Amino acid sequence: MEKAKQQPRSITYVAAITEGVRAILNEQDNAFVAGEDVAGAGSVFGYYRGLLAEFGENRLFDTPISEKAIMGLGVGAAATGCRPIIDIMFMDFIAECMDEVTNQLAKMRYMFGGAATLPVTVLTMSGGGMNMAAQHSQCLEAWLAHLPGVKVVMPATPYDAKGLVIAAARDNNPVFVVLNKLSLGIRGEVPEEVYEVPIGKANVVREGSNYTIVAVSRMVHEAVKAADELAGLGLDAEVIDVRSIQPLDTALIIKSVEKTHRALVVHEAVRFGGIGGEIAAQIQELAFDHLDAPVARVGAPFSPVPFSPVLEATYMPNAAKIVAEVRKTLEI
Partner 1 sequence: MARQPVRRARTNGTKSEAKSATRSATKGATKSTAESTTRGTAKRPANTAAKSPAKSSKKGRARSPARRTAKSRSAAETGTRSATSGPSDRVLQELHLRMARIRKFEEAAGGLMEDGKIPGALHLYVGQEAVASGIMQHLSDEDQITSTHRGHGHLIAKGGAFPEMFAELFGKASGYCKGKGGSMHISNMSLGMLGANGIVGGGPPIAMGAAFSNKFRGTDRVAVCFFGDGASNEGSFHEAANMASLYKLPCIFVCENNGYGEYTAQENHQAIRDVADRAAGYGMPGVVVDGMDVMAVYEAAGEAIDRARRGDGPSLLEAKTYRFFDHVGMRGMGLTYRSDEELEAWRRKDALLSFEAMLLDMGVMTKRKLTSFYKKLDEELAAAIQFAEASPFPDPSELLEDVYSVA
Ligand X SMILES: Cc1ncc(C[n+]2csc(CCOP(=O)(O)OP(=O)(O)O)c2C)c(N)n1
Residues 59-118 that bind a copy of itself (CB under 8 A): 92-93, 95-96, 98-99, 101-103, 106-107, 110-111
Interaction partner, residue 82 (partner 1, ligand X, a copy of itself, none; CB < 5-8 Å by kind): partner 1
Dihedral sign of CA atoms 185, 94, 111, 61 in order: negative
The reply to whether 30 sits near a copy of itself by the rule CB under 8 A is: no
Q: Of 178, 179, 223, give the one whose Cα is nearest residue 317.
A: 223
Of 182-221, which residues contact partner 1 (CB under 8 A)?
none
Separation between Cα atoms, residue 196 and residue 199, nearest integer Å: 9
106, 189, 304, 307 from 139: Cα distances, Å: 19, 26, 11, 16
Q: How many CB atoms are located within 10 Å of the residue 146 CB?
A: 15
Q: Give the per-residue contact string, 84-123, with ligand X (x = CB under 6 A; - = no).
A: -----x---x--x---------------------------
Q: What is the DSSP secondary-structure string of 98-130?
A: HHIIIIIITTHHHHTTT------EEEEEE--SS
Residue 49 near residue 27 (C-beta atoms within 8 A): no
Q: Please state, in angstroms and rounded to a whole number, the distance separating the CA atoms of residues 332 and 326.
A: 8
Q: Which is nearer to partner 1, 52 or 215 (CB)?
A: 52
Instruction: With beta carbons less than 8 A apart as the criterion, state whether 11 and 187 touch.
Output: yes
Q: How far is the CB of 323 from partner 1 (least distance, A)?
A: 18
136 catalytically annotated:
yes
Residue 33 parent element (H or E): strand 31-35
Window 206-225: residues binding ligand X (CB under 6 A): none
- For a copy of itself, give the closer residue by CB, 81 or 302: 302
Segment lying near partner 1 (by CB under 8 A), choices 16-24, 130-138, 209-217, 225-233? 130-138
62 binds ligand X (CB under 6 A): no
Instruction: Please say whether the beta carbons of 234 and 211 come within 8 A.
Output: no
Active site residues: 136
Footprint of a copy of itself (CB under 8 A):
92-93, 95-96, 98-99, 101-103, 106-107, 110-111, 133-135, 138, 140, 142-143, 145-149, 246, 248, 269-270, 272-282, 284-286, 288, 291, 293-297, 302-304, 306-307
